[in-house]
Amino acid sequence: MGLGMAAVKASDGRMFACMATWLLLWCTTAAAVCIMQPDIFVVDFYDAPFAATSPDAWGDYSGERTLLFCRGAAMPVPPDEGSRKAALVTERVQAQEWAPSFAKLARGVATQLVPDGSGPDLQFAVEIERLAAAVYSAGIPIPPWYSRGEGEPPEQAERAYMHERGLGDRRRLDGRTVPRLARRDLGDPTWRDGISEHATPCPGRAARGSRARTSPR
């Protein structure tokens, strides 16, 4: 996805919906979690540890840049980084006739995903507030449904639109939604209204940390 299309999807909520869906998976209750994901804008707004790789480094037939997000276990590494890049030209041509394969990547990641006790328990209700505040601070509008536990709009039609490709129907967010942590930083005394004692937004920084950025998709 180029920057022009990214701007369109940022303005109508589709970019945020994609990141919210990713975050919902990231907050899965598990001893260890690893998400395989094509390059995604969430790395610019949220400080999850990740490593860049590609399926062909694991023996599959795709050179697509793929990010591995991992918590609760050591970051998986390819068995022989770059070995597939030296594959024969004939094999490359043959591979183009097949559907991209991620089976060896998935199997390799699953084999290495051994919990080591380092993964903190994450609450989606907390982490979505951190993500929303970071996105908002970058001047990107936040959808009014951003904090829903399902990570998507309540209406079926709008949920379906979040999966639309291309320019969409030219709808735009109105920019009036201000996430809780941004309201807190602005001095709004009501920013905690409606929060239970067991789901209080993280009092720390809202923006992403200093992890390496990647080229957006």
Residues near 25 by beta carbon (within 8 Å), at least 6 away in sequence: 33, 35
Q: How many alpha carbons lie under 13 Å from residue 119 in its C-beta half-sphere? A: 25
Query: How high is the pLDDT of residue 128?
Result: 96
The share of the chain scoring above pLDDT 90, in percent, equals: 52
Query: How high is the pLDDT of residue 196?
Result: 65
pLDDT surpasses 80 at 90: no
CA distance 216 to 42: 9
What average pLDDT score do residues 4-30 get?
A: 92
pLDDT, tens digit, 9 for 90 and up, residues 102-161: 889 999 999 999 999 887 789 999 999 999 999 999 999 999 999 998 888 889 999 898
pLDDT surpasses 60 at 215: no
Strand order in the sheet with 66-71: 33-38, 66-71, 50-53
- Please, what sign has the CA dihedral across residues 121, 50, 112, 108? positive
Task: Share the mean pLDDT of the chain.
Answer: 81
Domain range summary for the chain, segments of one domain joined by + = 30-112
